[in-house]
Amino acid sequence: MRSVWLILLSLCTPACAIARTNENEPLDARALHALQPGVSSAADVVAALGAPVDVVQLGRRSAYLYRFTSSKRAALLLLVVGFYNQDTRADRAWVFFDEQQMLTHVGVTLEADESEYAMPWEDLHD
């Protein structure tokens, strides 16, 4: 009988959990800012940033995508109700090349380090 009460008590006990998931390697902001249009080649970009996540052909031109994603999750379980939230932010860099594989321009968004643990009732995007 005692074990039945322990099982019932454990089923009714509140619990919380947190988890974090990262996809790919973080982007190096200094390496991205060191790239110079008209000077850096595709080989220079790969040497500085590593292999891209995606390569897109744009006619005779090309673009490389670099992406790092960070997700943080928090959960709170109370008797019969559970609360769960996930905040996912990403660093993205698109690097564009001309026909001779010379860098023409770079578009960068760095937000992955801003992901937060939070409950659903919290506003993370103030």
Supply the pLDDT for residue 7: 65
Domain-embedded: residue 68: yes
Domain-embedded: residue 44: yes
More confident position, 11 or 99:
99
Total number of domains in the chain: 1
Q: What are phi and psi of 8, to 5 degrees?
A: -65, -40
**103 token code pair:** 């860098």
User: Which residues form the domain of 88?
Assistant: 16-114
- Answer yes or no: pTM beyond 0.85: no
